[in-house]
Chain A
Amino acid sequence: MIRKNRANRIYLICTFIFAAVAIVYFVLQAMNKNIDLYLTPTQAKSGQYEIDGSFKLGGMVAIDSIETGSELDVTFVVTDFKNSMTVNYSGVLPSLFKENSGVVASGFYDQDAEIFVAEEILAKHDENYMPIKIEVEN
């Protein structure tokens, strides 16, 4: 008798867990587009996302694309290696900002000039950690 109760409790808890997992799964599915912190250039150009207002653009800074203008003005290309977008920014860059490294820019897309005007630049750090010496040897 006691054993039967115990089995019933296991079934009950498992049913609850299954139901909760299902609910969370569907909620996350519905929110999927909003959970992404940024859009890649491919996503931004696909037309499936709202890009009229301000949004965040993320990707890698293309090699040899950083051009510094007068004062703090800087222009560079953000790429996901399929599509790319030119970004214009005026302000202080984070110290980890460099070519071939991740970046997340918040701002808006100027459709006529085909330029993303950034108001804030965040550097994305990758998962690699390496002592200084080794990089110099390479």
Chain B
Amino acid sequence: MYKYIAKYFLLEKVYLFCRATALWSLGIGAVSFLLVAYLCLFILPSDATQSEVYRILFVHVPSAIFSELVYIFMAVNGFIYLVWRTKISAIFLSSAINIGLAFTALVLVTGALWGKPTWGTYWVWDARITSTFVLLIQYIGILALKSSFNSKETADQIVSIVAIIGAINIPIIKFSVEWWNTLHQSASITFSGSSIDAEMLYALPLMILSFAFLAFFIFSRNIQIEILSRNSNTKKVRELLNG
């Protein structure tokens, strides 16, 4: 089975796949983002208690989802890399770091901007906000670690270990609003349903999709850079760049 999966993840195949799909992903992502943003800003009804300011939810929630998903993706790839020593997993891990960092920064900034008019403050050190802030520090730390070693292999191993251990923070972020008293409200969307009215809710998955396309564009460009820079002195790379 290992060989069966591995043949789809040959560096060259991944590189060519990324090169072929990146711009499509950017196009679909940008167009759908503009359309859904118009829908969220002008077509959806205002909220009964928060009126217009609730619309920031459509950036806040997708960012929050991706800030955690990207980290899980990194930890899983770190695990695969440490066990099977597959170079592509290390490349996937390194290529995802700055995307996760951007989403985490975005979720904190949109949260603060939403917090001022609703709660009355930009920032409180409650469990949800503090644990998300810790996630931001984790991303910054991993990004710094990645470029702190002379040997790529050492860097990959250390980054994988740190990513795996840091994944403990993900369930803490998720359940912080249930385990402790927080200012942040508990989840609106659970397995038993949604407490966001259906008239507003349908825009959220659309926004999540358009975020996914935009993130994939950056991700595939990062992968291309990683593959090229790691193999810059091989004949194949010179051929790829020329052809």
Chain A contact residues, CB within 8 Å of chain B: 6, 9-10, 13, 16-17, 20-21, 24, 28, 32, 35-40, 58, 93-96, 104, 120-135
Contacts and interface: CB of A to CB of B under 8 A. Distances in A.
B180 A37 contact: yes
B32 interface: no
Contacts, number: 110
Contact of A104 (B57, B84, B183, B197): B183
Contacts of A123: 118-120
Interface of B: 45-51, 54, 57, 79, 82-84, 117-121, 124-127, 161, 164-165, 168, 172, 180-183, 185-188, 195-197, 199-200
Given A17-B165, A20-B168, A125 B48 contact: no
Interface of A is mostly: mixed
27 contacts: A9-B83, A13-B82, A13-B164, A16-B165, A36-B180, A36-B181, A37-B125, A38-B181, A94-B118, A94-B120, A96-B50, A96-B118, A96-B120, A104-B183, A120-B121, A121-B120, A122-B124, A125-B50, A128-B195, A129-B50, A129-B195, A129-B196, A131-B200, A132-B46, A132-B51, A134-B48, A134-B199
Contact of B186 (A10, A96, A104, A127): A127
Given A9-B83, A21-B168, A129 B188 contact: yes
Nearest to B168: A24
Contact of B119 (A36, A124, A127): A124
Contact of A128 (B118, B120, B188): B188
A20 B119 contact: no
B83 A131 contact: no
A131 B125 contact: no
A125 B185 contact: yes
Contacts of B180: 32, 35-37
Given A121-B120, A123-B119, A123-B120, A6 B188 contact: no
